[in-house]
Structures are given as C-alpha cells and as structure tokens.
Structure 1
Amino acid sequence: MSRPQHFGWFLARGFGPHGWGHPYLDWDYDWTRPELYQQSARELEQAGFDFVLIEDAPSLGSPETIDLRVRHAFGGPKHDPLLLAPYLFQATRHLGVIPTVNPAAYLPYTAARQFSTLQHLSAGRLGLNVVTDTGSARHFGDAPPLGHDAAYDRAEEWLAGVRDLWRSWGEGALVRDAASGVYADGSRLEAVRHRGEHFAFDGPLNAIPLDRGQPVIASPGGSGRGLAFAGANSDIQLALAPLTEKSVREYRARIHAAAVERGRAPGDIRIMFAIQPVIVSSAEEADRLVAASAHPADDVLRQIAQKQSSDLETDLTTLDLDAPLPAALFAEHVSQGSLRRLTGDRDVATTPLRAHLTALARLGRIADRSGFVGTAEEFADLVEELGEWGNDGVLLWGDLHPVTVHRTLDELVPILRRRGILRREYTGQGLHADLRAF
C-alpha cells in the first residue's frame, strides 16, 4: 500500500460566476445560489477530500483594471465565501471548509467572534485561508496601503490577537452546572487588552470556548516573509513549486525550517502542492492536447493576457506581444507568486511578452513530468511519487462546478483508493483531527 495523502479542492476563482465562458453554463446552475456548491461539496466528501478552500479578493482591483476583471468574469464579481461556508457545512458531515479572509477586512474582535461561531456550528470543520492582499486597502479606510512585508506583520498581529481572544475563557470558566444554576465563572475570564501597531481592542470574547480546537489556519505565499508567516502560524501551507524531487524536498525543508525557527515542529504544518490536472481517457488523447497547445494563436494569447491582467491588476492586453515587459510595470502590492507564474525563470528584461504567454498556454504530459495532462492512472503515479518524497497532500485546482468535479474525479478516486493514497473514512472529530490522522 502507498503512503496516504491529504486532498483538498481549491476553488481557484472564488465564489463567482461559475460556468461563465464554458459550455457547461447551459447546465443552468445559478452561481448565486448555494445548491451548485452544496452538490459539489457532497461529492468531494464522498470522495474522501479533507477540505474545500475558497479563494477570494474583496476588491475589484484598481480603477484602471476594473473593466478587465468584470468583462469576462476573470477576477470579479465575487461574493463573500465566509457566508457560503454555513451552506456547505449544512450539506456535509465531515468536509472542512476554508474561506479566504483578509485581516484588513475584519477587526480582530469581530473576526474572533464570527469564526468561533462558525467553528461551533460546523463541529470543528472551519479553516481560514489568511491572505495579505494590500490592493483592497482603499475599501477599508483611508490609510495608505502597506508594503508586502508590512502586510504580513499586520496579519501576524491580527492572528495573534484573534487567538488571544479565543483563549480568553480560561480553564474552568465554562461551568454549565444545572444543579447550582451557574453557567460560567466570570473570574476565570481574561481581559485581553491589546494595544498594537495596527489594532487596539479589549476582551474577553463573548463566545464560549472552542471544544474542538481553533479553526485550521492555511496560508499561501512563496516569499521569505510569507514562508516565515506560515512557519509561525499555519496548519496548511499552499505550495506552488515545480514537482521535481529536488524542488519538492527543498520547498518542504524551507517550510519546516521556518516552523522550527518559531518553536514549532515540522509536522505541525501540512504542505499541500496545488495542481490543476487535465484528466483524459487515454494517453493518445493526452498527446493530442499537448501537441495542439505548442503553437497558440494570437487570440489564445490575448485571452491568457486577460486572465493574467486580472490576477496581476495590471493591463497586459495593450502591450506589444513581441516586446519585453516594461520596467516597473507592476506595483509593489502585486503578488510575487502571480508574477512568477507569468515570467517563470525567463529574463524579464529581454523576453517578449509572447514568450511568457506561450509558456502559460503550453501543456505538458504527466507521464514525462512536463505538465499535468494525462490519464487517471498517470496522475495517481505522480501523487504516489510525491508521497515517496514525503509529501503531505495535493490541492486540486479548479472551479467547483459539478461538471469539473466529475471530470476530474470519476476515474481518479477509485484508483487512488485502491492504491491506499486517498482516505475512505474520517475521524469524525473535525478538520484538525483529520489533518493529523496521517
């Protein structure tokens, strides 16, 4: 039997217009209603997935790029994933739900109270994907946006404050003794007086203690500061790295070193590599798709430029395809991970935009490890190999439309289970316990 791994589903485009621009729009799901997501969540739970993680960006971006984001629904509109979470909990019994939250959007006391409530309502299945998007700062006050590292400093202060509030009910504070009529002992509640660089608030929290542990914390980020944040705070690290043995082992070593530096054990963090597979019925079909992607037409490149413009909050569609990217094109707040996805390891000063976009358009085969197009058996081989390198889990990347879920999982789940890679049972004790089960 192979080493079991954890599986999550990354709803990569957030709680937005699912199906838009795809033939399966004619399934007539209404993306604003919960039924679409509930159906897919039930399928993921039946498949044995640990959680679904929902991307979010509270802003439509800078005024200059709003039209790029909404015209084809690449970057908006998006509804609040935190408010979708209760509907997914209601539809499932074990699946974890991890909405994305931005510390700039939630005062610590409000955050601690709302997240505590959801953790109780879900019997311990809530997670929080903590991001430091600074491009949305103008929506939450008139203070100038923070720089990259300063935004992580704020997030760390925010999370520490939220956790202090969760712990403000000391041991024995919750009595619940019907015989004496005493519900709680106020002398055992801690005041929690926080005066920090970014936040000021007092406790204790008006919510009872968390009997199944605090919500799971997830984080993305490949920068030094982002990895340091994960090492100190995260239970799940969302990883983007080339899936070679050297790259995977080096990335894991960096995360583990960051954890040890902050007084934690390497095993405190589950590292999940994000993959967007294209599962096809045969090796011949995979070869055909890969060959067709080798020489993309200009209209295909322009479509990719539109998607990248949304992610990067920078209009690439007006640039010359055959010229390098202009110097200082991207603002400081632009995600370094998004930039790396665009430029790879190519020389930005000399490489034309066409080459960057062509590299994004080009598909590769799972079989030779040049990409993620292949059969279910070939993808299972890849996951098994990752497990041999010590990997904790895989985050499958796609929308949450039932068509996408079935295309990806119908053949894959039985194969993964037969190989002992994918769980068949949950602990029944919440997301923390499921992540620690192996």
Structure 2
Amino acid sequence: MSRPQHFGWFLARGFGPHGWGHPYLDWGYDWTSPALYQDAIRTLEQAGFDLLIIEDAPSLGSAETIDLRVRQAFGGPKLDPLLLAPYLFAATERIGIVPTVNPAATLPYTAARQFATLQHLSGHRLGLNVVTDTGSARHFSTTPQLGHDAAYDRAEEWMSAVRALWRSWPDGALIADPAAGRYADGTRLEPTIHRGEYYAFDGPLNAIPFTDGEPVIVSPGGSPRGLGFAGANSDVQLALAPMTEDSVRGYRSRIHDAAVAAGRLAEDITILFAIQPIVVSSAEEADRIVAASLEPDEATLRRIAERQSSDLETDLTTLDLDRPLDRGIFGDHVSHGSIRRLVGDHDDDAPLRRILAAHARLGRLSDGSGWVGTADELADRIEEYGAWGNDGVLLWGDLHPVTVHRTLDELVPILRRRGILRREYEPTLRANLRPF
C-alpha cells in the first residue's frame, strides 16, 4: 500500500466573486452567502481533506492598479475570511479552516482574543495563514510601509505576542470547580507586559486556555527570511516550488534546516506543496487541451497580464510585450515569490510576450510537463511525491462546488484505494496534521 499523505484545498481567489468569468456562474450561487462555501466544504470533509486555507488580500491595491484588480475580479473585491470561518465550522465536524491574517491589520491583543474565541467555538479546528503583505499598510496607519524583511520582523514580533497572550493563563489558573465555588485563580495569571519595536500592550488575555492546543499556524514564502519565519513559527508550510524530485527534496531540506535552527524538530512542520491540476475524463481530452494551449492569442496573453498585474500590483498591460521585462518596475513591497512565479526560468533578456506565453501553455501529467490529465494520472503523480518523502499537497482553485466536484469525484476513490488519502479524522486539526 502507498504512503498516506495530507491533503488540503487552497482557496486561491479568497472570499470573492466565485464563478465570475466561468460558465458555472449560472448555477446561481450568491458568493456573498455562506451556502456556496458550506456546500463545498462539506464535500472536502467527506473527501477526508485535512484543511481549507482561504487566501486574502485586504487591499484593492495601488491607485494605478485598482481597476485591473476589480475589472475581472482577479484581486477584489474580497470579504474577510475570518468572518466566514464560523459558517464553515457550523457546516462541518472535523476539517480545519484556515483564514488568512495579516499582522499589519490586527493588533496582537485583538487578534489573540478573536482567534482564541474561534478555536474554542470550532472544537480546536482553527488555523491561521499568516502573511506579510505590506501593500495594504496605508489602510491601517500612516506609517510608511515596511520592506520585505522588515515585514517578517514585525510578523515575528506579532506571532510571539499573540502566543504570549494565549499562554497568559498557565496551568492551575482555570479551576472551574463548582463544589469549591471557584472559577479561576487570578493570582496565577501572567501580566504579559509587551513593549516591542512594532507593538506595545498589556495582558493578560480575557480568554480561557485551550484544552487541545493552540491554533495551527500556516505560512507561505520561499525567501530566506520567509523560510526563517516558517522554521520558527509554522506548523504547516504552504510550499510553492517546481514539482521535481530535486526541487521538492531541496525545499523540504531548507524548511527542516530552518526548523532545527530555531530549536524545533524537522517533523514539527507539515509541508504541503500547492498544485493546480486540470482533471479530465480521458488521455485524449488531455492531449487536445494541451495542444490548444501551445499558441496563445493576444486576448489570452492580455488576460494573463491582467491576472499577473493584480497579483503583483504592477500594471503589465501597459508594457511592450516584445521588449525584455524590466525587473526594476516592481516595488519593494511586491512578494519575491510572486515575481519568481511570473518570470520562471526566463533570463533577463526574455521579452514579456515569451514570459506570458509560458503561463498560457499547459502540459501533461503523464510526462511531468504540466497538470492536465486523468484522475489516475494525478494519483500517480501524488503517489510519486510520497515516495520522495512528501507530507502532502494543497489543491489550488476556487471553492465553487463545480470546481470541487470536477477535481475530486474520480480522484478521491482512487487515492483511498491506494491508501494515500485518509478515511477517518482525528478530533482536532493539530492531531490530523501529525505524521502518519
């Protein structure tokens, strides 16, 4: 039997207009209503997925790129995923829900109290995808936005402060003994006085301690500073890397080294590689889709440029497609990983047209050139990742029920028959993420 792995779904479009720009918009779901997401999350739980991670960006971007972000709903509007989480918890029993949170947007005390509340209400199924987006800084203060590494420094302080508040009720502080007539011992509470570079507050937290562990911390990021943050803080790493054996093993090694350098064990971090498969009914259909993608037209290239402009908060549509891309157009706030994903392995002389065309072209699962293939072919690839020591994968897509069923209906039975996908859950998200 094959090696079991962990599975998650990355809601890449965030809590936004699901179905927009797709034929299945006419299913008639209202993206501002919980029903769409509750329908899909029940399917993910039935499938045995460990967690759902909900992407977010609190900003519509700079004045120059707002229209690009909202024109086709690539980058907005987006509602707050933290407030969607209770509706998803109410619709499920075991799967973990992981909204994205930004240390720039919420002060540590408020964050610690809100997250503690959701951890209790959910039966300890909450996770937090901690991101360091700095482009939204102007929405929260007039302080100049931080650079890439400084934003991680702030996130490190924020994470430490939140955890100190969660732990301000030590063992013995909560008594809850009706016979003794005593609920808590206030003399045991930690004052938690914090005076840092970015935050200043006093505790203790007005929330009781957890019975089954703190919320699970997730982080993305492939820069040296991002890997350092993950090594010190994360329970799950959202990994974006080429899915070759050398790349997967190398990325895992860097994360494990970062964990050990922070005084933790390598196995303390579950590494989930994000993949975006297109599951089709036959090899012939896969070949047809791949062939049709090889020569993208101008309209396709423009759509890709608009989508990339949204992610990068940099308008690529105004650039000459036949000139090399000037990497200097990207501000310091732009994610290094996003720039790498745009450029790929192209050199500095590559025209923008060639870079965009590479994003349009699809490849086959069967030969490792891409992600189009049958459910059996996708299962083969995932099984191969397990042979490389992989912890699991995140399927990347929207959360529309059509997308979820199209991807999973044939795949889940195959993975279960091969022993790759769980059939039963543990009581909490943290327990579900333990090594098999």
| TM-score of the superposed pair, with normalisation by structure 1 | 0.99
Aligned-residue offset at 1:437: 5.2
Which residue is 1:347 aligned to?
Answer: 347
Aligned-residue offset at 1:234: 0.2
| 8 Å contact from structure 1 (residues 427, 437) kept in 2 | no
Which residue is 1:118 aligned to?
Answer: 118
Which residue is 1:422 aligned to?
Answer: 421
Which residue is 2:337 aligned to?
Answer: 337
Which residue is 2:405 aligned to?
Answer: 406
Which residue is 1:30 aligned to?
Answer: 30
Residues of 2 paired with 1:138 and 1:100: CA distance? 19
| 8 Å contact from structure 1 (residues 16, 31) kept in 2 | yes
Which residue is 1:431 aligned to?
Answer: 429
Aligned-residue offset at 1:385: 0.4
Which residue is 1:49 aligned to?
Answer: 49
Which residue is 1:59 aligned to?
Answer: 59
Residues of 2 paired with 1:44 and 1:260: CA distance? 33
| Counterpart amino acid of residue 369 in structure 1 | G
| Counterpart amino acid of residue 433 in structure 2 | L
Tell me the C-alpha RMSD between the 2 structures: 0.6
Residues of 1 paired with 2:267 and 2:180: CA distance? 44
| Counterpart amino acid of residue 414 in structure 2 | I
| 8 Å contact from structure 1 (residues 8, 49) kept in 2 | yes
Deviation per residue, 1:281-319 (Å, 9 max, x gap): 111111111111111001100010000000000001111
Which residue is 2:395 aligned to?
Answer: 396
Which residue is 1:238 aligned to?
Answer: 238
| 8 Å contact from structure 2 (residues 2, 418) kept in 1 | yes
173-182 or 395-404, larger mean C-alpha shift: 173-182
Aligned-residue offset at 1:327: 4.8
Which residue is 2:5 aligned to?
Answer: 5
Which residue is 2:374 aligned to?
Answer: 375
Residues of 2 paired with 1:318 and 1:244: CA distance? 34
Aligned-residue offset at 1:326: 2.8
| 8 Å contact from structure 2 (residues 267, 435) kept in 1 | no
Any stretches of 5+ residues in structure 1 without a counterpart? Answer: none
The number of residue pairs the alignment matches comes to: 436
- Identity, in percent, stands at 75
Residues of 2 paired with 1:26 and 1:212: CA distance? 42
Deviation per residue, 1:179-237 (Å, 9 max, x gap): 12100000110000000000001110000001111000000001000000000000000
Query: Where in structure 1 do 4 or more consecutive aligned residues deviate above 4 Å?
Result: none
Residues of 1 paired with 2:21 and 2:159: CA distance? 38
Alpha carbons of structure 1 residues 327 and 257: separation in structure 2 relative to 1, 3 Å: closer
Match status 1:211 vs 2:211:
yes
318-327 or 283-292, larger mean C-alpha shift: 318-327
Is the partner of 1:98 in helix, strand or coil? strand
339-348 or 230-239, larger mean C-alpha shift: 339-348
Residues of 2 paired with 1:244 and 1:64: CA distance? 37
Aligned-residue offset at 1:362: 0.5
Which residue is 1:90 aligned to?
Answer: 90
| Counterpart amino acid of residue 344 in structure 2 | G
Match status 1:149 vs 2:167:
no
Residues of 2 paired with 1:131 and 1:427: CA distance? 27
Is the partner of 1:436 in helix, strand or coil? coil
Aligned ranges 1:176-255 → 2 under 5 Å = 176-255=176-255
Any stretches of 5+ residues in structure 2 without a counterpart? Answer: none
Residues of 1 paired with 2:8 and 2:97: CA distance? 10
323-332 or 186-195, larger mean C-alpha shift: 323-332
Deviation per residue, 1:107-146 (Å, 9 max, x gap): 0000000000000000000000000000000000000000
Residues of 1 paired with 2:328 and 2:388: CA distance? 39
